[in-house]
Amino acid sequence: EVQLVESGGGLVQPGGSLRLSCAASGFTFSDHYMDWVRQAPGKGLEWVGRTRNKANSYTTEYAASVKGRFTISRDDSKNSLYLQMNSLKTEDTAVYYCARAYCSGGSCYSHYYGMDVWGQGTTVTVSS
């Protein structure tokens, strides 16, 4: 079964750090771009960032709201995706989803084809 499972969410004080993990199974993880998307309580979806695959040098992109504070990484040997969040702010409170890029024409690029597999989400609450 194709699956993504996030973990690592919780309550953290402003200025603190948290590391989210996303465990993938049931597909060739290394082929896919992987994204993080978040959703604040009662709000819409917000793209957080992306890591490309090995063929594209594992380069990353970030939303302006998190650039310099968040770092996305992946370990293809462990089929895992990570989101290191530093200098957390109250406005970072949200459900965080990891998502797999959809494949079309043999390429699995999220910025072209969207994301077809999502985790269940992990909740991050930033509050004092």
Partner 1 sequence: QSALTQPASVSGSPGQSITISCTGTSSDVGGYNYVSWYQQHPGKAPKLMIYEVSNRPSGVSNRFSGSKSGNTASLTISGLQAEDEADYYCSSYTSSSKGVFGTGTKVTVL
Which spans of this chain sit near partner 1 (rule: CB under 8 A)? 35, 37, 44-47, 50, 61-64, 97, 99, 102, 104, 110-116, 118-121
| ∠ Cα 85 3 117 (to 5°) | 75
Strand segments (E) across the chain: 3-7, 10-12, 18-25, 34-39, 45-51, 60-62, 70-75, 80-85, 94-101, 115-118, 122-126
Of 31 and 61, the one with the shorter C-beta distance to partner 1 is: 61
Of 79 and 102, which CB lies nearer to partner 1 in the complex structure? 102
> Among candidates 70, 94, 92, 90, which has minimal Cα distance to 82?
70
Spatial distance between the Cα atoms of 5 and 63, rounded to a whole number of angstroms: 23
For residue 77, the minimal CB distance to partner 1 (Å) is 26
User: By C-beta, is 3 or 17 nearer to partner 1?
Assistant: 3
- In the complex, the smallest distance separating the C-beta of residue 108 from partner 1, rounded to whole angstroms, is 12
Q: Which is nearer to partner 1, 15 or 112 (CB)?
A: 112
Rounded to a whole number of angstroms, the minimum distance from the CB of residue 27 to partner 1 is 14
We find the least distance from the C-beta atom of residue 50 to partner 1, in angstroms, to be 7
